[in-house]
């Protein structure tokens, strides 16, 4: 796979922020201030945002594409954070390229493989995309992404994320579903990680409940857990000030 497309800003310790499905690096716009203290690196996954979809990918090949992009730009080690599907890529990266990981962050993400129910849901989405394209995905995803108060009181944010989701190419959406369905459980990898691990969750995340959040935090003694009130699966956008404060606290140890 070709190196991932990445945007590099600022100077300092490299911090990589990997977006989730079916989004783009635009979800990190509220974290751009990090570039005043760190080298901020935001990958664009294939077929999302303005990047073309060129070839099939897996979670592992995306991790390899990120490693190639970093190395080709002279980065030998970085703090790697991923949101949702981006977290799956970050975990695969840490497993395949451990010497390149100075720290690991999971934002609304987890190390588990798909359940049979999740796999079934992905198959249904793929079948529907084949019939009617992927425009509907944004509407299906919205209730899963945001806290109830965000949907009720911040329609501007919700609509802006829908616009981002609708930029994703049909085949990229299908490939993401296939890649996530096929990914392996990374729990054992998370247990073994020796570098600091930052876990960032929204209190109202429909995908990762509080019990799961604390279970993940207990896997690694080097982990720190932040749960953000009034946020769902998009804490970096729903509660940017609180999220940035927690993220900067995590990064301050490097």
Angstrom distance (rounded) from CA 67 to CA 4: 8
Match 């198959």 to its residue by tokens: 123
Angstrom distance (rounded) from CA 96 to CA 28: 25
Task: Supply the pLDDT for residue 240.
Answer: 98
How would you write the chain as a 3-class SS string?
CCCCEEEEECCCCEEEEECCCCCCHHHHHHHHHHHHCCEEEEEECCCCCCCCCCCCCCHHHHHHHHHHHHHHCCCCCEEEEEECHHHHHHHHHHHHCHHHEEEEEEECCCCCCCCHHHHHHHHHHHHHHHHHCCCCHHHHHHHHHCCHHHHHHCHHHHHHHHHHHCCCCHHHHHHHHHHHHHCCCCHHHHHHCCCCEEEEEECCCCCCCHHHHHHHHCCCCCEEEEEECCCCCCHHHHCHHHHHHHHHHHHCCC
Angstrom distance (rounded) from CA 120 to CA 42: 31
Instruction: Assess whether pLDDT exceeds 90 at residue 200.
Output: yes
Task: Supply the pLDDT for residue 155.
Answer: 97
Note whether 183 and 176 are within 8 A (CB).
Answer: no
Name the region of 213 (left: φ>0; alpha: ψ -120 to 50; beta: rest): alpha
Task: Supply the pLDDT for residue 50.
Answer: 85
Across all residues in the chain, what is the average pLDDT?
97
Q: Biggest alpha carbon distance in the chain?
A: 49
Task: Supply the pLDDT for residue 124.
Answer: 97
Instruction: Assess whether pLDDT exceeds 90 at residue 252.
Output: yes
1 vs 238, more confident:
238
Instruction: Assess whether pLDDT exceeds 90 at residue 1.
Output: no
The residue segments making up the domain with residue 24 are 5-251
Domain count, the chain: 1
pLDDT tens digits, one per residue of 5-25: 999 999 999 999 999 999 999
pLDDT tens digits, one per residue of 59-106: 999 999 999 999 999 999 999 999 999 999 999 999 999 999 999 999
User: Domain holding 93: CATH number?
Assistant: 3.40.50.1820
Q: Structure pTM?
A: 0.97
pLDDT tens digits, one per residue of 109-140: 999 999 999 999 999 999 999 999 999 999 99
CA angle 118/123/126 to nearest 5° reads 125
Backbone angles phi, psi at 214, to 5 degrees: -75, -30
Instruction: Assess whether pLDDT exceeds 90 at residue 205.
Output: yes
Angstrom distance (rounded) from CA 233 to CA 142: 10
Question: pLDDT > 70: what percent of the chain?
Answer: 100
């Amino acid at each position: 796979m070709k190196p991932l497309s990445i945007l590099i800003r600022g100077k300092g310790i490299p911090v990589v922020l990997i977006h989730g499905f079916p989004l783009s690096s635009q979800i990190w716009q509220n974290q751009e201030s990090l570039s005043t203290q760190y080298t901020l690196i935001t990958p664009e996954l294939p077929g999302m945002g303005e990047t073309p979809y060129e070839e099939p990918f897996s979670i592992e090949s995306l991790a390899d594409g990120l490693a190639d992009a970093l190395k080709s730009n002279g980065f030998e080690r970085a703090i790697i954070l991923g949101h949702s599907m981006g977290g799956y890529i970050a975990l695969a990266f840490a497993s395949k390229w451990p010497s390149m990981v100075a720290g690991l962050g999971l934002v609304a993400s987890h190390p588990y493989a798909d359940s049979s129910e999740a796999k079934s849901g992905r198959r249904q989405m793929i079948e529907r995309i084949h019939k009617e394209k992927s425009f509907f995905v944004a509407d299906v995803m919205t209730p899963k992404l945001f806290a109830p108060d965000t949907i009720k009181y911040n329609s501007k944010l919700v609509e802006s994320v829908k616009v981002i989701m609708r930029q994703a190419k049909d085949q990229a959406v299908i490939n993401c579903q296939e890649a996530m369905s096929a990914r392996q459980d990374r729990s054992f990898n998370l247990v073994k990680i020796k570098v600091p691990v930052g876990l960032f969750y929204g209190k109202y995340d429909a995908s990762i409940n509080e019990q799961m959040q604390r279970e993940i935090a207990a896997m690694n003694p080097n982990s720190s857990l932040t749960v953000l009130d009034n946020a769902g699966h998009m804490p970096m956008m729903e509660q940017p000030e609180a999220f940035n404060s927690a993220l900067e606290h995590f990064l301050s140890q490097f």
